[in-house]
Structure 1
Amino acid sequence: MAAELSTTDAAAAAARLDSLTSWNADWGGLRVAVLGLGVTGFAVADTLTELGADVLVLAPEVDDDRARILEVIGARLVRHPLDSVPAELTEFGPELMIASPGFHPDHPVLEWAATTGVAVWGDIELAWRVRDKVDAADWILVTGTNGKTTTVQLAATFLAANGLRAAPCGNIGVPVLHAVRDPGGFDVLVVELSSFQLHHLPKTGPGALHPWASVVLNVADDHIDWHGSLDAYRAAKATVYENTKVACVYNRADEATMHMVEEAEVEEGARAIGFGLDVPGPSDFGVVEGILCDRAFLDERRTAALEIITLGELEPHGLAAPHIVQNILAAAALARSYGVPVGVIHDALGDFRLDEHRIQLVAVAGGIRWIDDSKATNPHAAEASLRAFGRVVWIVGGLLKGVDADALVAAHVDRLRAAIVIGVDRAALVAAFGRHAPDLPLFEVVADDTETVMPDAVALAAAVAESGDTVLLAPAAASMDQFADYADRGRRFHEAVRARLGGEADGESAPNGPAGPAAPNAEV
């Protein structure tokens, strides 16, 4: 086990790292250990080798293609289960460690780094420090328990529609390091940040982000198993507001986000901009008699508002569900902070479609709608989905990630025709239904075979659903117990529905067609 750095060595190492705030700084020979070789870890290793650093990658699982490329670019790879500290790491003696988002804070290698005085960054801090390789774009940050990806896509769409070079990146699937190294450069990066990524971000110092605008969309119990507590999870989310320059956008229906803005250290002149489904006040975005409005970015905001779009215009495109309307308002606030006119936002929404597996209409048959919201991977997301529909046959379950779904069940039993429970954490859900709806038809899919889970669930749903019902896949849980990811879970639901209905379907939507009538005044 390596000894702690001496005071002199630690000071010298810290001084060198503090100086690394540009692509053009002296990164040559810096010894960096990279944890993980997924999409993020590979982007980190590729960036650092291009900068001239000495890179050692540690990974329990390795894609062979990435391993071969690492050898070509000059990084070294250690395949190790990482349940302990590899000898190769201690011998390497890193000056810096960059952890991929999936590594828990109490991981043995991260604890070793803390004990020995090795600095730990995430990929976001590295990307911020080297953002000037081409053009130092402004950053707009988006986080929250739910709605991040949709809001990022909307905001980037609005910015691009106004002629700006805008890139959605981060936790959305495109590493920020790819964006900052793109030879074409960008004006604005709209960065989706997970709580895992935010955990490693400093609030002050050379590695602290200074975003143009930022938003926490909502905060609900999630990833408690990773962060250790709800307070730690919320603290990570709150980091997104630190040092914001122009607009801190928050959810008026979620007091936690308002308090985060109040407590953040922001740059002078930054404004707090609220959004919600109710009537907006000055400096807010909201809904008035079915019209989405901006009362923040106009001189007469105390007496007037700017119309963005109507709920009636959104509904044919499947964008009128309450939680999607909230995403639109938040994204519009971010785009307006950057000067995008409301007319541009209106026109861009006419062409915008949700990604697959987000309140997606799969089919209609016999008056029954089949809806895929596999992306509802926690109770907060499932709550928003359930509120968008009337009588529901609910397919629920998976990995609950340490989150208690009891309140979710209790809040929605009155709208349920039946519940079909899938996944490994069935017992907690079955017990919740027993407490709050003992007379509700309840079915368990006990098969462990991935190939049969959705066909069994769909067959059970088809047996109990009646005309006017919605069969809703909104699992309120992660998918990795029985599926590759939430998209795999959603695809298998589609396949099972189509196989079950055959020629009975009255019609299927496009990947992002309407999910049916929304309840725009619902609290979500």
Structure 2
Amino acid sequence: MSHVQTSSSYLPQPQGPVWIAGAGVSGRGAADLATQLGWSVCIIDSNFTAASELADRHGGSAMTVEEAHSRLDEASLIVTSPGWRPDTPLLHDAQAQGIPVIGDVELAWCADRDGRFGEPRTWLAVTGTNGKTTATAMLASMMAESGAAAEAVGNIGVAVGTALTQTPRVSVMVAELSSFQLHWSPTLTPDAGVILNLAEDHIDWHGSMDAYAADKARVYRGPVIGVNADDERVCREVERYMELSSTSSGSDTPARRVVEFTMGEPSAGQVGVIDGRIVDRACVPADSEGVDIADATRISPPGPAGVADALAATAIARSQGVEPDAIARALSSFVVEKHRGQVVYEAGDIRWIDNSKATNPHATDAALSAVESCVWIAGGQLKGAQIDDLIHKNADRISAAVVLGQDREIIRQSLATVHPRIPLTVITSTDPVIAMNEAVQAASKLAQPGDTVLLAPAAASLDMYTGMSQRGDLFAEAARRYGRGTEG
């Protein structure tokens, strides 16, 4: 069996072709990067045609997953797409045999740290159960306003490998990273990392909440740790991680600086809100009363979730020396990404908001908390998530509801039990276009002056849609076609 040669470099040294597990978007990026590193590639995918096409573009070979498993003794390094579960037989058995398995983010990190694409870059990592894309985009804007050549990368913007070779050069990588990507990044050590929040998600993939949180905490390996002081799970994970680090740290372990953020009035060492203003008391002299940053009431997207994202981004930006006026400029010009609380239609006194990215109850709670009264459109694949608490907490905000998708009956029963008096419409169609059109037409009839029609499904989209983007796009199209307002 031939494994990776050991050396003083960060970058693995495979013996023979590097195996790329997955011929999708991540696999293509990994193959591109591997080729630029001078490695030959072997593409592995259950779809042999897709694997062969990608292999041909890189002058490599291809195998099915089954064939690769039978020839595992030939592998020396596997770069996997992040969605491949750790218990996938190929990956599980490879690791059991001592064959390194990493992701494309880890590969890019190692190549950058080895100086294969010039001077190593600054890496700022953003993760959490919800809000990652907005916070990442905000932080990238803040860094750019400070004059840095910053780029949002990872699950937003460009792939990390692509950013390494981009012209003009990217010097600050602001990376949105999922728990999957972090699981396959065993040595990634960002210059600063933040966990926005933690709630149960992807437990079927990770195996447990503890394992999920531990993978998220990999952003805390570096010298700056961003902590949501309002999230008990994040605080517990920080304590666990710091304790673990103190007992296992070596001489190369960086000294860690903790920068907290809170929706409340900040104590020393925190970024928070005072009289509607974002104030920094973390990156200032100990005896300082704080530095005024920006108006928290004008943050986009509006509501607590948007403010929390702005606070997290501000905390990390300030830890990197960004001046308050640069942060204020970035926040004042920030426009929310599609499907993340975007107003897609307004008529009279009714707004239509697309928050299709709210694919779990935790994200939907944040979306509901940002409105006063709404017609809630919900449904899809709950994946075992419980929503009674979500509905109970937000009952006074939900004036009516429309449910659709695979688990619509579960949501209907929960609404009937927890909030029985509200008008409720059930959409039974399983055609994606028809179902969304009917949902929007029903919501239009239910909406009253001052309401928001809110698509915040609390569920995944793959029961009917190709993804949350298609679900949100169809909602926006239907809202513009069938939505109505109250003209006044």
Q: TM-score, normalised by structure 2?
A: 0.91
Partner of 2:231: 254
Of 3, 6, 10 in structure 2, the residue corresponding to residue 21 of structure 1 is: 10
- Cα deviation digits, residues 248-283 of structure 1 (max 9, x gap): 111111022123223233844421111111000111
Contiguous gaps of at least 5 residues in structure 2 = none
Using the TM superposition, give the Cα deviation of residue 89 of structure 1 relative to its aligned residue in structure 2, in angstroms.
5.5
3-state secondary structure, aligned to 1:185: coil
Whole-Å separation in 1 of the counterparts to 2:379 and 2:160: 32
Map of 1:68-217 to 2, 5 A cutoff? 68=53, 70-78=55-63, 80=64, 82=65, 85-86=66-67, 90=71, 93-131=74-112, 132=115, 133-202=117-186, 208-217=187-196
Partner of 1:510: none
What's the RMSD between the two structures over aligned residues? Answer: 2.3
| Contact 1:49-1:74 within 8 A present in 2 as well | no
Using the TM superposition, give the Cα deviation of residue 405 of structure 1 relative to its aligned residue in structure 2, in angstroms.
2.1
1:21 aligned partner, one-letter code = Y
Of 278, 284, 291 in structure 2, the residue corresponding to residue 306 of structure 1 is: 291
Using the TM superposition, give the Cα deviation of residue 361 of structure 1 relative to its aligned residue in structure 2, in angstroms.
1.5
- Cα deviation digits, residues 31-63 of structure 1 (max 9, x gap): 321111111111111222232323211123478
1:248 aligned partner, one-letter code = I
Q: Do the aligned partners of residues 117 and 69 (structure 1) sit closer, same or farther apart at CA in structure 2, a change above 3 Å counting?
A: closer
| Contact 1:394-1:416 within 8 A present in 2 as well | yes
2:143 aligned partner, one-letter code = L
Q: Do the aligned partners of residues 91 and 152 (structure 1) sit closer, same or farther apart at CA in structure 2, a change above 3 Å counting?
A: closer
Count of matched residue positions in the alignment of Structure 1 and Structure 2: 476
1:110 aligned partner, one-letter code = L
Whole-Å separation in 1 of the counterparts to 2:70 and 2:162: 27
Of 17, 39, 42 in structure 2, the residue corresponding to residue 53 of structure 1 is: 39
| Contact 1:37-1:57 within 8 A present in 2 as well | yes
Map of 1:113-512 to 2, 5 A cutoff? 113-131=94-112, 132=115, 133-202=117-186, 208-242=187-221, 244-245=222-223, 247-262=224-239, 263-264=241-242, 265=245, 267-299=253-285, 301-312=286-297, 314=298, 318-501=300-483
Q: Do the aligned partners of residues 277 and 143 (structure 1) sit closer, same or farther apart at CA in structure 2, a change above 3 Å counting?
A: same
- Cα deviation digits, residues 407-454 of structure 1 (max 9, x gap): 212222232211111111223212222321233322211101112011
Compare relative contact order (CA 8 Å, sep 6+) and give the higher one, 1 or 2. 1
Q: Do the aligned partners of residues 217 and 356 (structure 1) sit closer, same or farther apart at CA in structure 2, a change above 3 Å counting?
A: same
Whole-Å separation in 1 of the counterparts to 2:49 and 2:169: 29
Whole-Å separation in 1 of the counterparts to 2:59 and 2:73: 15
Partner of 1:34: 20
3-state secondary structure, aligned to 1:125: helix
Aligned-residue sequence identity (percent) comes to 39
| Contact 2:302-2:370 within 8 A present in 1 as well | no
Deviates more, 1:492-501 or 1:91-100: 91-100
1:37 aligned partner, one-letter code = A
Deviates more, 1:326-335 or 1:223-232: 223-232
Deviates more, 1:420-429 or 1:256-265: 256-265
| Contact 1:368-1:471 within 8 A present in 2 as well | yes
1:351 aligned partner, one-letter code = S
Q: Do the aligned partners of residues 471 and 320 (structure 1) sit closer, same or farther apart at CA in structure 2, a change above 3 Å counting?
A: closer
1:429 aligned partner, one-letter code = I
Whole-Å separation in 2 of the counterparts to 1:195 and 1:336: 25
Whole-Å separation in 2 of the counterparts to 1:270 and 1:87: 42
Using the TM superposition, give the Cα deviation of residue 140 of structure 1 relative to its aligned residue in structure 2, in angstroms.
0.8
